Structure 1
């Protein structure tokens, strides 16, 4: 799930940069790109994976 959100954010950052849309200082293409990369790093690290590991009972 985090990888999908990261992909969307990176695509939005690309569109902002390619269309040369002027935005405020917080919503720049670089900031959106860094947010997407942070989400991608969390996904690769295993955060937000899915079902938690099951514990075996004996």
Structure 2
């Protein structure tokens, strides 16, 4: 699930950057991209995948 969230955040960052949309410092394309990287890192670490391997 976090992998999908990362892809969405990367796409939003791309749109903000490609369209030259003027945003404030909080919602700049770099900050959105960094949030996507955090979500991707959590996904690769196995957090938020929704599957419980080995547990019943």
Taking structure 2 as the reference length, what is the TM-score of the superposition? 0.90
Structure 2: any 5+ residue segments left out of the alignment? none
1:21 aligns with 2:27: no
Runs of 4+ in 1 over 2 A off after TM superposition: none
State the aligned residue count: 55
Aligned partner of 1:54 in structure 2 is 55
Please provide the CA RMSD for this pair: 1.0
Aligned partner of 1:5 in structure 2 is 5
Structure 1: any 5+ residue segments left out of the alignment? none
Taking structure 1 as the reference length, what is the TM-score of the superposition? 0.87
Question: Aligned to 1:4, what secondary structure does the other structure show?
Answer: helix
